Chain A
């Protein structure tokens, strides 16, 4: 899904994430599998150690939650931004705000999936782990700013054209105002973003706090 979305956005740009988006896509496709392989390997290991299926979930529960925490919201926000905003409202595609969040996402993902790959191979360079838990300080606000600015830029066009909106009267007795919906989405960032951000800060303390425990394997 991301592949199609990005190739749709990329050609419309004159400069910017063309090469970056491609690099991202390559890494995305290759490493996406790796991420889930970590889970799979964990499961196999646990099964071999225990000799039964009982309680297998608990053996991969932590890495599973670890990888998925925040991922749902991130994924949903990205799909929404890509399809429901950037793709649907042609006028925003040349906005700098789009460059802002695409760059933020791209860098985040490159780091994140390298992290997964190396974890899988049990050869996680401290630098990658450090990067994953430090770059977000800048990348999260950068991405959120880009996303919010993009949605904001789309508002006048949505209102003018009535995009994705349904009005009364109609035989299903239903109405939907996409413009209001977008505003509500923007408002929802207020409680959601700080939660994600502070969650990452807490994770960082937990993960980077145990530097001595972690053996730098060659």
Chain B
């Protein structure tokens, strides 16, 4: 673990005149100048702050609006190697897609040799494969075409952590669902049908929320607004919940657990739920802080409960 290095750098900034007042010095300019002097620290890994222990300033911050005098003293901290969110998402989602299929097609060295390249005799196993694959294809497409990210990058080490989580769990679940000794759900067709309905409902719901969130934000902007229900009934859950995308995600995995009746899937659902609850609470708290008129009826992730 490295300590924050304090590098005090003085810039002489020419502030442009009132004629071009919308070209005030944004902090991303400061980052660009810094980068030209220190090429090993590209802008995404620079944390610039007014106080060594303070919060990092944003690109959108304007130099003139900061509590500085005629000379501004900034403190720099290296955030470490960065990687783009898009890259991380694509990698962490492609893994489970491919890995699950390897188990589904019973690629050699996973199960006993006599089962190599055979397929399960249970039709629910085929259904589960379709659902799991659909889920991750949907996520990949959303990453490419739907999501608008607030931050461009995250620390590089996150990709190892995240991929271990997604890929590891995918392998663990897929191993049992596609196992020659797999036991189908106790309540048979009824259970599977209900599970599929829940799963599909929540997939559509989750997608609807992602689209609604995208439409809140015009392209290229980083504005934040309160999300509200739209004409799409799947978004009406915004009346009760701040992060319904997580609510629907939980629902999808509960459906998948019910469909496969597999303990590792239940465990994955639980771990995911815990993580999403943490995120939802954080998001909810920042909504409350930022907007005075935030609807009081809403809970972070589960209506009235959590």
Binds B, one of A32-40, A46-54, A151-159, A168-176: A168-176
| CB–CB A168/B181 < 8 A | yes
B266, closest chain A residue (CB): A172
| CB–CB A170/B183 < 8 A | yes
| CB–CB A171/B176 < 8 A | no
Binds A, one of B90-98, B198-206, B257-265, B297-305: B257-265
**Which A residues, 151 to 188, have Cβ-Cβ distances below 8 Å to chain B?**
168-175
| CB–CB B182/A172 < 8 A | no
Number of interface residues of A (CB under 8 A): 8
B177, closest chain A residue (CB): A173
Count contacts between A and B, CB distance < 8 Å: 29
Question: Which residues of the other chain, B, contact A170 by a CB distance below 8 angstroms?
Answer: 183
Interface assignment of B210: CB less than 8 Å from any CB of chain A: no
B172, closest chain A residue (CB): A174
Question: Which residues of the other chain, A, contact B181 by a CB distance below 8 angstroms?
Answer: 168-169
* CB of A65, distance to nearest CB on chain B (Å): 13
CA–CA, A90 and B263, complex, Å = 30
Interface assignment of B66: CB less than 8 Å from any CB of chain A: no
| CB–CB A168/B179 < 8 A | yes
> In terms of DSSP, what is the predominant structure of the interface of chain B?
loop
Interface assignment of B186: CB less than 8 Å from any CB of chain A: yes
* CB of B54, distance to nearest CB on chain A (Å): 15
Interface residues on B, range: 10 to 19
CA–CA, A170 and B186, complex, Å = 11
**Which A residues, 15 to 65, have Cβ-Cβ distances below 8 Å to chain B?**
none
CA–CA, A13 and B291, complex, Å = 67
Which one of B183, B260, B264 contacts A169 once the chains associate, using CB atoms below 8 Å?
A: B183
Q: What 0/1 pattern do residues 264 to 306 of B give for CB contact below 8 A with A? A: 1000000000000000000000000000000000000000000
CA–CA, A124 and B193, complex, Å = 69
| CB–CB A172/B179 < 8 A | no
Question: Which residues of the other chain, A, contact B182 by a CB distance below 8 angstroms?
Answer: 168-169, 173
| CB–CB B183/A174 < 8 A | no
* CB of A147, distance to nearest CB on chain B (Å): 27
CA–CA, A168 and B264, complex, Å = 13
Question: Which residues of the other chain, A, contact B183 by a CB distance below 8 angstroms?
Answer: 169-171, 173
Question: Which residues of the other chain, A, contact B262 by a CB distance below 8 angstroms?
Answer: 172-174
CA–CA, A169 and B264, complex, Å = 14
* CB of B102, distance to nearest CB on chain A (Å): 18
A168-B179, A168-B181, A169-B181 are known contacts. Are A174 and B186 too (CB-CB below 8 A)?
no
| CB–CB A173/B179 < 8 A | yes
* CB of B181, distance to nearest CB on chain A (Å): 4
| CB–CB B263/A174 < 8 A | yes
CA–CA, A171 and B191, complex, Å = 14
A166, closest chain B residue (CB): B263
Question: Which residues of the other chain, A, contact B263 by a CB distance below 8 angstroms?
Answer: 172-174
* CB of B2, distance to nearest CB on chain A (Å): 15
CA–CA, A173 and B260, complex, Å = 9
CA–CA, A172 and B260, complex, Å = 9
CA–CA, A169 and B179, complex, Å = 9
CA–CA, A175 and B183, complex, Å = 12
Question: Which residues of the other chain, A, contact B261 by a CB distance below 8 angstroms?
Answer: 171-173
CA–CA, A172 and B263, complex, Å = 5
* CB of A191, distance to nearest CB on chain B (Å): 15
CA–CA, A171 and B181, complex, Å = 10
* CB of B15, distance to nearest CB on chain A (Å): 37
* CB of B152, distance to nearest CB on chain A (Å): 32
- B residues contacting A by CB (< 8 A) are 176-177, 179, 181-183, 186, 260-264
Could you write out 19 A-B pairs with CB less than 8 Å apart? A168-B176, A168-B179, A168-B181, A168-B182, A169-B182, A169-B183, A170-B183, A171-B183, A171-B261, A172-B261, A172-B262, A172-B263, A173-B176, A173-B179, A173-B182, A173-B183, A173-B263, A173-B264, A174-B263
4 further contact pairs, Cβ within 8 A, besides A172-B262, A173-B183, A173-B262? A169-B182, A170-B183, A173-B261, A175-B176
- A residues contacting B by CB (< 8 A) are 168-175
A-B pairs with the 4 shortest C-beta distances? A174-B263, A169-B181, A168-B181, A173-B262
